Amino acid sequence: MINVLAKLKKSSIRASDIAAQYWCERQMELNYLYGQKITAQIKKGRQIHGDLESETNVPIVLMPKAYSDVMYKGLYTSYMALQTLQEKKKTREVQIYGAINGFKLVGKIDQLEIKDNELIVQEDKTRGNDNLPSDAQILSHKAQVMLYRKLIEDITTEKYTAKMFKESYRIPNLILTDEFKRQLETIGVEKELMKVDSMSDTFFESLRKLGKISDTLYIRYINQFTGNVIKLHKLKYSEEEMLQMLDFVLKYWNGDRKSLPVPMEEKWKCNFCAFFGKECKVWWPQKGLNV
């Protein structure tokens, strides 16, 4: 059986990979094999996410020098984002971890908000115009936001614990560099928290206390040029639907099947794909026939 993660030179599955599988699984795979093309649209989208983050979260400037520092920075900034959530009832860019069927899962939640004592999960997507998203786009984004909700719930119900996280990422072996520790001292981090291990415990403890998670999830579509909200899509979380979705995507990661190209009725997506006619020729012979 093929080891798909090794083939794609990955150690974990990202929530965005699962979303991408619902757009075109073959394209998601090719992005790893040949490198994703960073378009102007992707750059603009990242800028908007950065702008929104600075509206709510306290900016944290840390310059990691090694993998252990990078890991710490991710945990610390997400922990601080959860502190912001308690104070301002809203926060952005929270890293989340989990495991499914032996695979490590990781993602970054765009927005968490507390309303009526419930935690609301929201995903933001930027668009190049004011057109409403297609059903195919919404399906892909729905998979992502549903997965975030599941990952938070797995932590609050202790299906996934700090201990499991620390074992799978070999956290006790990670030692911070002296220079990074000096940076942490400058920003006032307490000595006992200057270890990836203790920061992991503190971060998971904050996640565990998040309380009731709303079954209503949101996807907000934003025009990347005007910053205007095009649509706030609301959906209901269904555990059953989530498990079905995971069952489908994991067949690929388990190596039970090859990556799937889009089906014939969705071959219009190929017109927006950088691999069309090059690395992927599934629907290429029909290009002249209205692809």
The residue among 193 and 274 lying less far from ligand SF4, judged by its C-beta, is 274
CB of 272 to ligand SF4, least distance (A): 7
CB of 266 to ligand SF4, least distance (A): 8
Please report whether residue 140 would count as binding ligand SF4 according to CB under 6 A: no
Residue whose C-alpha is closest to residue 22's, from 285, 235, 242, 207: 242
Q: Across the chain, where does the E strand assignment appear?
A: 13-14, 90-100, 103-115, 118-127, 216-223, 229-236
CB of 210 to ligand SF4, least distance (A): 37
CB of 26 to ligand SF4, least distance (A): 4
The residue among 255 and 277 lying less far from ligand SF4, judged by its C-beta, is 277
DSSP result, 88-125: HSEEEEEEEEEEETTEEEEEEEEEEEEETTEEEEEEEE
Annotate each residue in 270-289 with x if it binds ligand SF4 (CB under 6 A) or - if it does not, as one string.
Answer: x--x-xx---x-xx------
C-alpha gyration radius of the chain: 20
Q: Which two tokens stand for residue 105?
A: 């899962």
Please report whether residue 79 would count as binding ligand SF4 according to CB under 6 A: no
Using an 8 Å Cβ cutoff, are 171 and 71 in contact? yes
User: Quick one: which of 73, 127, 195, 269 contacts ligand SF4 (CB under 6 A)?
Assistant: 269
User: Residues 6 or more apart from 161 whose CB is under 8 A from it?
Assistant: 155, 204
Q: Packing angle between helix 67-88 and helix 196-208, nearest 10 degrees?
A: 30
For ligand SF4, the binding residues in 15-54 under the rule CB under 6 A are 24, 26-27, 30
CB of 134 to ligand SF4, least distance (A): 14
Residue whose C-alpha is closest to residue 275's, from 12, 17, 27, 5: 27
Please report whether residue 122 would count as binding ligand SF4 according to CB under 6 A: no
Helix-then-strand count for the chain, H and E: 9, 6
The residue among 245 and 270 lying less far from ligand SF4, judged by its C-beta, is 270
Annotate each residue in 226-265 with x if it binds ligand SF4 (CB under 6 A) or - if it does not, as one string.
Answer: -----------------------------------xx---
CB of 268 to ligand SF4, least distance (A): 9
Indicate left, alpha or beta for 101 from its phi (over 0: left) and psi (-120 to 50: alpha): left
CB of 1 to ligand SF4, least distance (A): 23
Q: Report d(CA 148, CA 118) in Å as an integer.
A: 15
The residue among 203 and 283 lying less far from ligand SF4, judged by its C-beta, is 283
Footprint of ligand SF4 on this chain (CB under 6 A)?
24, 26-27, 30, 261-262, 269-270, 273, 275-276, 280, 282-283
